Amino acid sequence: MDRYGPLPEIRGARMRDELIGEVELAALAGRGGAGFPTARKLAAVAARRNAVVIGDGTEGEPVSAKDKVLIAQSPHLVLDGAAAAAGLVGATGAIVVAHAAVSHLMAAAVAERRRARVDRIRLSVVPAADGFVAGEASAVVHWLESRVPKPKSTPVRLSERGLRGRPTLVQNVETLAHLALITRYGAGWFRGVGTQREPGSLLVTLSGAVRVPGVYEVEIGMPVGAVLGLAGGVAGPLSGLLVGGYFGSWVDPAVAVDLPLSSEGLGALGAGLGAGLLALLPADVCGLAEAARIARYLAAESAGQCGPCVFGLEAIAGQLERLASGRGPDLVALRRWIGQVGRGRGACKHPDGTVAMVASALRVFSGEIDRHAAGWCCGVPGRTSTLSPPGRW
Ligand SMILES: Cc1cc2nc3c(=O)[nH]c(=O)nc-3n(C[C@H](O)[C@H](O)[C@H](O)COP(=O)(O)O)c2cc1C
Ligand code: SF4
């Protein structure tokens, strides 16, 4: 409050509609990975009664640190966003589910606000569950309802029937922070940075072969090379760049550096912003081996409820491992499974995200495929991933 000034008090349906219109003008897109327009989610929940708001700070992505850094540094901005979202959808409460490493900081901020009687709504904090799929929106609801950190086994429309059957708005905590600023300063202010189609700033986690790994706030549309420059530039030759996170895409770093960091710009390489992650793979780590490692991790993280996810990801990870280790993979079957598994066939997007990453690896490291078949690998034997989360998380 001291830094940004008070939030506008949202009273009456007209003011709500005007402010949701402002969010639409700002073209705010979700920062949790899917990039869905926030105004559309707000409007869908606002049209119903008895709504509840959930801030998703689970950050299940192992290499990402942006939500933890945001919560640690600006918990009140996230809570302002949760309070604003509640005002916009007519909710009387908001729950922030925060990564266990930082949930105590969020809880302290909530206590501070209670003492100062800042909010008209009830804010609360719940430590998030561990695991890659625990941050999926229906898994967060499941966690809050029954301490089961798995997506619901059948697809659900949370805006209609979410937490305990109530219309539920689930927004990533970074999205909430942007929302807090848009409701204060308006769409024109938000559009002061970023691109015409994708305005605003973005938190990115830079990890791997950069000189100063960490979380940076950047203007959307800044060239990828300039973003890497903020982290002191690349630390040596690279074999690949993973954009967006484990559900993201492998791209050729030499091509990507000149592109704008935006979904539109990265779209030229079949990539997108995802959860705001740029992970640089050093040249002595084989891209196919790293893609196989991530695919195996994601297969193991399946919530074990949908056939294509359980059996499909297991089979895909196995073939990718054979490919990476030169053990004669069945590439025809691998490509067929990629086509079959990633078509919205799970109750959540876990299989889709995984196969998108695998497909991009086959594209970008295609030159390596024949060489691996001949028993040659570009990586140093035994050298595996350096794509660890930056800092102490
Ligand atoms: C397997 C899986 C894991 C996810 N993990 C997270 C997460 O850790 N944090 C998050 O904010 N969104 C995560 N999401 C996306 C959420 O389902 C949801 O789209 C998001 O929280 C909505 O907020 P946003 O519109 O503000 O991005 C995940 C999605 C999937 C399919
Ligand atoms: S697709 Fe996979 S992760 Fe998603 S609900 Fe089904 S089994 Fe669980």
Give 20-35 pLDDT, tens digit per residue.
999 999 999 999 999 9
Residue-wise pLDDT tens digits, 261-294: 999 999 999 999 999 999 999 999 999 999 999 9
Q: Is 58 in the pocket of ligand 1 (CB under 6 A)?
A: yes
Q: Which two tokens stand for residue 379?
A: 């990586």
Q: Ligand 1, atom 29: nearest CA belongs to which residue? A: 136
**Which residues have C-beta within 8 Å of that of residue 287, sequence separation ≥ 6?**
239, 240, 250, 281, 361, 364, 365, 368, 378
Nearest atom within ligand 2 for CA of residue 153: 5
Whether the per-residue pLDDT at 379 is higher than 80: the answer is no
pLDDT band at 388 (very low <50, low <70, confident <90, very high): low
203 alpha carbon – ligand 1 mean position (Å) = 15
Name the residue of 31, 41, 56 to mutate for ligand 1: max ligand atoms within 8 A of Cβ: 56
The predicted pLDDT at position 1 comes to: 61
Q: 365: alpha, beta or left, given left = phi > 0 and alpha = psi -120 to 50?
A: alpha
Specify whether the CB–CB gap between 233 and 210 falls below 8 A. yes
30 alpha carbon – ligand 1 mean position (Å) = 9
* Ligand with the closest atom to the CA of 151: 2
Whether the per-residue pLDDT at 332 is higher than 60: the answer is yes
Q: Is 301 in the pocket of ligand 1 (CB under 6 A)?
A: no
Report d(CA 363, CA 357) in Å as an integer. Answer: 10
Q: Is 309 in the pocket of ligand 2 (CB under 6 A)?
A: yes
pLDDT band at 344 (very low <50, low <70, confident <90, very high): confident
Q: What is the DSSP pairing of strand 238-243 with strand 277-282? A: antiparallel
* Ligand with the closest atom to the CA of 170: 1
Q: Which two tokens stand for residue 128?
A: 């998030």
136 alpha carbon – ligand 1 mean position (Å) = 5
Q: Which two tokens stand for residue 138?
A: 């229906």
**Which residues have C-beta within 8 Å of that of residue 104, sequence separation ≥ 6?**
none
Specify whether the CB–CB gap between 242 and 387 falls below 8 A. yes
Q: Which two tokens stand for residue 89?
A: 């959808």
Lowest-confidence region among 4-8, 66-70, 194-198: 4-8
Report d(CA 172, CA 67) in Å as an integer. Answer: 8
Name the residue of 136, 150, 171, 350 to mutate for ligand 1: max ligand atoms within 8 A of Cβ: 136
pLDDT, the chain, mean: 93
Whether the per-residue pLDDT at 389 is higher than 90: the answer is no
How many helices (H) and strands (E) the chain has is answered by 16, 9
Helices 12-26 + 38-46 axis angle, to 10: 160
9 alpha carbon – ligand 2 mean position (Å) = 40
Q: Is 347 in the pocket of ligand 2 (CB under 6 A)?
A: yes
Report d(CA 313, CA 177) in Å as an integer. Answer: 34
Q: Which two tokens stand for residue 237?
A: 């030759």
274 alpha carbon – ligand 2 mean position (Å) = 19
The predicted pLDDT at position 316 comes to: 97
Percent pLDDT > 90 in the chain is 85
Report d(CA 371, CA 178) in Å as an integer. Answer: 46
Helices 75-89 + 173-190 axis angle, to 10: 80
Q: Ligand 2, atom 4: nearest CA belongs to which residue? A: 348
Residue-wise pLDDT tens digits, 183-192: 999 999 999 9
Whether the per-residue pLDDT at 2 is higher than 80: the answer is no
Name the residue of 297, 309, 355 to mutate for ligand 2: max ligand atoms within 8 A of Cβ: 309
Give the mean pLDDT of 314-323: 96
The predicted pLDDT at position 383 comes to: 61
Nearest atom within ligand 2 for CA of residue 302: 3
The predicted pLDDT at position 391 comes to: 57
Report d(CA 379, CA 290) in Å as an integer. Answer: 10
What's the start-to-end Cα distance of the chain, in Å? 28
Q: Is 302 in the pocket of ligand 1 (CB under 6 A)?
A: no
Output the CA angle 326-292-154, nearest 5 degrees: 140
pLDDT band at 6 (very low <50, low <70, confident <90, very high): confident
Report d(CA 33, CA 297) in Å as an integer. Answer: 18
Report d(CA 88, CA 20) in Å as an integer. Answer: 7
* Ligand with the closest atom to the CA of 128: 1
Q: Is 136 exposed, middle or buried (0-12, 13-18, 19+ CB in 10 A)?
A: buried
The predicted pLDDT at position 384 comes to: 60
Lowest-confidence region among 67-81, 167-181, 240-254, 369-383: 369-383
Lowest-confidence region among 56-65, 269-278, 373-382, 383-392: 383-392
Q: Ligand 1, atom 10: nearest CA belongs to which residue? A: 32
Q: What are phi and psi of 53, to 5 degrees?
A: -115, 135
Nearest atom within ligand 2 for CA of residue 139: 5
Whether the per-residue pLDDT at 176 is higher than 90: the answer is yes
Query: What is residue 262's DSSP assignment?
Result: S
Residue-wise pLDDT tens digits, 359-368: 999 999 998 8
325 alpha carbon – ligand 1 mean position (Å) = 33
The predicted pLDDT at position 326 comes to: 85
**Which residues have C-beta within 8 Å of that of residue 292, sequence separation ≥ 6?**
317, 320, 321, 323, 324
**Which residues have C-beta within 8 Å of that of residue 239, sequence separation ≥ 6?**
281, 282, 283, 284, 285, 286, 287, 378, 379
216 alpha carbon – ligand 2 mean position (Å) = 31
> 0.75 exceeded by the pTM?
yes
Hey, is 172 helix, strand or coil?
Answer: strand
